[in-house]
Structure 1
Amino acid sequence: MVSLDQELFHYILGLRGSMKKCRCQKEGGATLAVSTIILRNESFYCSSKESLTCESSSCINGDCQTSSTCEASSCFSETQELKMPELPTGLTLQKKGCPVGECTGLAFSATLGGQRTFRYDQQCCDGDKCNHTGMQPSQVPAKENGVWCLACYMEAGMPCIPTLLKCTGNETKCVSFIGTDAVSNNPLSVRVVGTGCATESACNLNMIVLESMHIHSFCSSRFSEPSTTTSAPDSTGLPPTSTSTVPVLISLLLLKVLF
């Protein structure tokens, strides 16, 4: 517990009995991380860990802006990796820096229709320049795990042709997602809709990825391995019941986003 300096005391003098976020100093001038002010016996105090120095950078496919540093109570490193036929080299976004608010680690991956894969990995640490270590490259394709999911990917003006997809590795869930324009903040500004295999951590997401896309996701029951005794397939190569599932999943996801 350390006393706040005189200038900060005057700034928060009217906050008696309340709590407020601030930066404070202890004797010797060492800066402390953002912390909570507490009123106790008419004196203000703050309790906090010393702030950390984090590396800060932003890279697209290995092309990085000039690195700098920042100070916070924790550091983060983030990798987003998108692979699709239209981008032979793929798209990899990497960031390091100081989190806005509390840092929460999250890692997930998904394999969708149209040979599209997406991987997201955000890690948090609490040591000086602890986010210096380079981020791990995409892993070698994993083995099939016995799970089948309906796969589809649809953008504006592009039809969705569903296929049955064999899931691999830790992608043991069947996921459906919708991506809207994060800039417009309009739930009806749909950019992409997709289904496929995903890790369990990809279920029930509500977040921004690739800088400008707001995604919502949910997981549904997986499909059984195709059987030769099922009903005759239609022009897509799937039983009619599988094909008709796609618009149902998309409709449910739109309802989830809107309400």
Structure 2
Amino acid sequence: MSLSSSLKSLLTVCVLAAFVASTVEESYKCVQCDQQCNEEKTCDSSHGCFSKKSEFNTTGLQPYTILQKGCSSSKCEPRAFSATLGVNHTYGYGYQCCQAEKCNKADFQVARKSSDPNGITCPACYNGEGATCQPTDLACKGEETKCLNFTGTVNDVVLLFGMGCATETACNLKDVETINYIKISTYCVGSSNGSPQLMSIISSILTALFLLKVLI
């Protein structure tokens, strides 16, 4: 065999080896679960693994927590936010991403609200049965510096409505799936500081828009 042929053969082997190696690196296992995290699934590394947790707290009741893990169906985008709705309801959400073998195995906590007032006041209320509620003033705490309106829908039907204090990361969400397949959408303003009338007007406008969407 000539030197030229030997070099070509060596080059071919190197290219094939690199291809095989890159193919192996393109997938790894992620922990997959819906509450019970005892399964694994091979995922495309371009998407990565995810961990998602939603925690809804009502004063006097046990926290309601949903935990999901698995392979991202598309490019993973981390997100975390918290909100206080009315005087008795708090909500925390976390979505984490990683790209390594079973990197989503460990548990994590959603954002915890500080007990320190931040000087901001928002209209707040919560209705788990419809698209309106009567707001009262709520003193915001910690990093919850935005006044938030939110709706929760299933199949475009409004099931939940709330107002309150929230982190800036909770603003302007669109159809983010949370607990029990409920998709939330949000709108924020800076602070009411004693002006619930403005937020009531915004509330009415948002409610009308969502109801119009349902009817259409």
How much does 1:139 deviate?
A: 3.0
- Asked if residue 32 in structure 1 is aligned to residue 62 in structure 2, the reply is no
Distance 2:178 2:140 in 1: 23
Structure with the larger RCO, 1 or 2 (CA within 8 Å, 6+ apart)? 2
Q: Is residue 250 of structure 1 aligned with residue 203 of structure 2?
A: yes
**SS at 2:207 equivalent:** helix
Structure 2 residues without counterparts, runs of 5 or longer = 1-15
Deviations 1:73-99 (A, max 9, x none): 1111111100013x7111111111101
* Residue among 50, 53, 60 paired with 1:79: 53
**Mapping 1:1-259, distance limit 5 Å:** 27=17, 32=23, 50-59=26-35, 64=36, 66-73=38-45, 74-85=48-59, 88-136=61-109, 139=112, 141-156=114-129, 160-181=133-154, 185-186=155-156, 189-206=157-174, 207-224=176-193, 242=196, 244-254=197-207, 257=210, 258=213
> Deviation of residue 192 (structure 1)?
1.1
Distance 1:158 1:173 in 2: 21
Asked if 1 retains the 8 angstrom alpha-carbon contact of 2:132 and 2:207, the reply is: no
Q: Secondary structure at the match of 1:251?
A: helix
Contact residue 217 and residue 253 of structure 1 kept, 8 A: no
For the 8 Å contact 1:84–1:114, the answer to whether it is kept is no
The answer to whether the 8 A contact 2:92-2:110 is kept is no
Match of 1:229 in 2: none
What RMSD in Å do the two structures reach over aligned CA positions? Answer: 2.7
- Offset of 1:30 from its aligned partner? 5.8
CA distance in 1 between counterparts of 2:114 and 2:161 reads 24
Q: Compared with structure 1, are the counterparts of its residues 32 and 210 closer, same or farther at alpha carbon in structure 2 (3 Å cutoff)?
A: farther
Write the distance in 2 (CA, Å) between the matches of 1:152 and 1:92: 21
Identity, % of aligned positions: 34
Q: How far 1:72 moved relative to its partner?
A: 2.2
**Partner letter of residue 180 of structure 1?**
T
Aligned to 2:5: none
TM-score, with structure 1 as normaliser:
0.66
SS at the partner of 2:206? Answer: helix
SS at match of 1:132: coil
Distance apart, 1:256 and its partner CA = 5.3
Tell me if structure 2 keeps the 8 A contact 1:31–1:51: no
The alpha carbon displacement at 1:116 in A equals 0.7
Aligned residues: 193
The CA distance in 1 between the partners of 2:82 and 2:105, in whole Å, is 23
User: CA separation in 1, counterparts of 2:33 and 2:82?
Assistant: 23
Is the contact between residue 192 and residue 199 of structure 2 (CA under 8 Å) also seen in structure 1? Answer: no
Distance in 2, Cα, partners of 1:201 & 1:119: 11
Q: 1:247 to 1:132 in 2, by over 3 A?
A: same
Q: Deviations over 1:51-76 (max 9, x none)?
A: 122111121xxxx2533233221111
